[in-house]
Amino acid sequence: MPSRRKVILGVVGLAAVGVGAAAMLRRKPPPVRPAGVPLSAFDAESTAEEVTAGVDLTGKTALVTGVTSGIGLETMRVLALRGAHVIGTGRTLEKATAACAGVVGRTRPLALELTDFPSVVACASAVQALGVPLDILVCNAGIMALPNLEQVYGLEKQFVTNHLGHFLLVNHLLAQVQSAPQGRVVVVSSSALKWADETAIEWDNLSGERDYSANRAYGQSKLANSLFSLQLARRMAGTATTSNSMNPGAVLTQLQRHAPAWAVSLGNVVGPAFMKSPAEGASTACYLAANPAVEKVSGRYFIDCNPVVIGGNSENPELAEKLWQVSADLVREYLV
């Protein structure tokens, strides 16, 4: 049993970490805004319900990947609350069904295992079989910072799960999104894309075998998310279909599940002091998916329901184009 003194010191220490982190977050320089993109009055504390208040999604169909927990679950819940028919995907039909059962509104569970390309194709086929336009497609599912190198199809697993699986899914469903009056693709990226600042996309190390860093590989996959969204927006230019990527902020979810147990426990204790709740963490995805203010906005990166220019690799059009080509090559046999 720890002594009372140790417990008090521990609690004080954890509180100090939380307060320090909150102070660091507050000291950030003001964001750079892109010209010509409307700003919203929402901020880091806005919830998904608040940013979609008054929006009627009745008659619209949405698909959200990774609805079994965290941001995806809240995004599905709020889009369904606003009247959308939400297709919620989980790695198994059982998990997706359980998640959908906990949500009020019209939902439909589907299995989608992003590391299994036939599963991605089967999911897309099931959506196509519905025979309705797909108004909203939120690419949310993801994994973070696997401590050791794991591979699928000979490729590093975070790149496959977070980027390549979604690349394949979107390509299969793009015609259906384009058949909607104003289809929207929302790709959940992360500030962690900066972790790939120096290396960008390691074309010669997509297997991760040359060298592997858990954080850099996660950063690369999140950079890929934003580059994919950018290139999709460029390809959709001149049409009503939009594509935007976003950083949800630091959100208290299950994403840290691969971190050491002590870090998970620490996060659970101090996290609520400075991290967003899922209700706040899902706000930017829901804003981009549903708010009329952004119906003509495409190819942008959002934080806290507002566009930001973050510069660097994520806005590099050559990199975005090359990523599209390389990704298409990697999944070529599943694209037809």
Catalytic residues: 212
Site for ligand NAP (CB under 6 A): which residue of 76, 78, 134, 143? 143
Q: Which phi and psi (to 5°) does residue 64 adopt?
A: -125, 125
The window from 13-21, 107-115, 236-244, 325-333 that contacts ligand NAP (CB under 6 A) reads: 107-115
Scanning 23-31, 61-69, 122-130, 197-205 for contacts with ligand NAP by CB under 6 A, the matching segment is 61-69
> Exposed, middle or buried: residue 16 (CB in 10 Å: 0-12, 13-18, 19+)?
exposed
Question: What gap in Å lies between CA 317 and CA 8, rounded to an integer?
Answer: 53
Contact with ligand NAP (CB under 6 A): which of 140, 229, 231, 244? Answer: 140
CB 260 to ligand NAP: min, Å: 16
> Segment 179-208, which members bind ligand NAP (CB under 6 A)?
188, 190
72 is an interface residue for ligand NAP by CB under 6 A: yes
The single residue among 46, 115, 283, 327 that binds ligand NAP, judged by CB under 6 A, is 115
Q: What is the DSSP string of 285-317?
A: HHHHHH-GGGTT--S-EEETTEEE---GGGG-H
Q: For residue 80, which of 91, 69, 67, 92 has the smallest C-alpha distance? A: 67
The counts of H helices and E strands in the chain are: 13, 10
71 contributes a contact to ligand NAP by CB under 6 A: yes
- 251 is a site residue for ligand NAP (CB under 6 A): yes
Side-chain half-sphere of 284: how many Cα atoms within 13 Å?
Answer: 31
Under the binding rule (CB under 6 A), the answer on residue 161 touching ligand NAP is yes
Pairing of strands 151-152, 155-156: antiparallel
Judged by the rule CB under 6 A, the positions of this chain that interact with ligand NAP are: 66, 68-72, 90-91, 95, 112-115, 140-144, 161-162, 188, 190, 247-248, 250-251, 253-255
